[in-house]
Amino acid sequence: MNDYDLIIRGGTVVDGLGGDGRVADVAIKDGAIAAVGAVDGRGAEEIDAAGKFVTPGFVDVHTHFDGQAMWETRMAPSSNHGVTTVLMGNCGVGFAPCKPDQRDILVAVMEGVEDVPEVVMAEGLPWNWETFPEYLDALDQRRLDIDVATQLPHSALRVFVMGERAAGYEPPNAEDLERMRALTTEAIRAGALGVSTSRNMMHRTKAGDLAPSLFSEEDELLALAAGLRDAGTGVYQIIPRVTGPAVDEFALMRRIAETAERPLSYSLMQMPTGERGEVQASLDALATATADGLPIRAQVAPRPVGMLYGLDLSFHPFSLHPSFRPLLDLPLAEKVAAMRDPALRAKLLSEEPEDTNPVSVKTVKAFRFAYPMGDPPNYEPDLADRIDTKAAALGVTPEEYAYDLLLERDGRAILYQPGANYRDGNLDAVHTMLAHPDTIVGLADGGAHYGMICDASFPTFFLERWTREGAGAQRIALGKAIAALTSEPADAVGLGDRGRLVVGAKADVNVIDLERLRLRAPTVVADLPSGGKRLRQTAEGYIATIKSGVVTYRDGEHSGALPGRLVRGAQVLEAA
Same domain for 312 and 290: no
Instruction: Please state the domain count of the chain.
Output: 2
Residues 331 and 456 in one domain: no
Report helix, strand or coil for 396: coil
Residue 268 neighbours by CB under 8 Å, 6+ apart: 279, 282, 283, 298, 299, 300, 433, 439
pTM over 0.95: yes
Question: Quick check: 576 pLDDT over 60?
Answer: no
Task: Write the CA distances from 485 to 91, 172, 195, 310, 454, integer angstroms.
Answer: 20, 39, 22, 30, 18
Same-domain check for residues 282 and 135? yes
Residues 6+ apart with CB under 8 A from 287: 436, 437, 438
Which residues lie closer than 8 Å to 124 by C-beta, 6 or more apart? 67, 68, 70, 71, 72, 528, 529, 530
Task: Look up the domain containing 242 and give its range.
Answer: 59-303+427-492
Distance CA 34, CA 474 (A): 36
Please check whether residues 179 and 241 belong to one and the same domain: yes
CATH of the domain at 195: 3.20.20.140
431 pLDDT more than 80:
yes
37 pLDDT band, cuts 50/70/90, is very high
Helix (H) or strand (E) holding 345: helix 342-350
For 286-324, b/e burial (b = at least 16 CB within 10 A) is: beebeeeebbbbbbbbbbbbbbbbbbbbbbbbbbbbebb
End residue of a domain, out of 365, 391, 420: 420
> Element (H or E) spanning 305, and its range?
strand 305-309
**In the predicted model, is pLDDT for residue 1 greater than 90?**
no
80 domain-assigned: yes
CA 394 to chain CA centroid, nearest Å: 38
> Quick check: 470 pLDDT over 90?
no
pLDDT class for 575, splitting at 50, 70, 90? low
Summarize pLDDT for 27-36 with one digit per residue, the tens. Answer: 999 999 999 9
Tens-digit pLDDT profile for residues 319-376: 999 999 999 999 999 999 999 999 999 999 999 999 999 999 999 999 999 999 989 9
Give tens-digit pLDDT for 160-186. 999 999 988 789 999 999 999 999 999
Number of helices (H) and strands (E) in the chain: give both, helices first: 19, 25
- Domain check: are 216 and 99 in the same one? yes
Residues 203-243: tens digit of each pLDDT: 999 889 999 999 999 999 999 999 999 999 999 999 999 88
Q: Is residue 239 part of a domain?
A: yes
Q: Is residue 47 part of a domain?
A: no
Shared domain for 287 and 361, answered yes or no, is no
198 burial type by CB count under 10 A (0-12 exposed, 13-18 middle, 19+ buried): buried
Query: 183 in helix, strand or coil?
Result: helix
Pair (321, 198) in one structural domain: no
According to the model, what pLDDT value does residue 256 have? 98
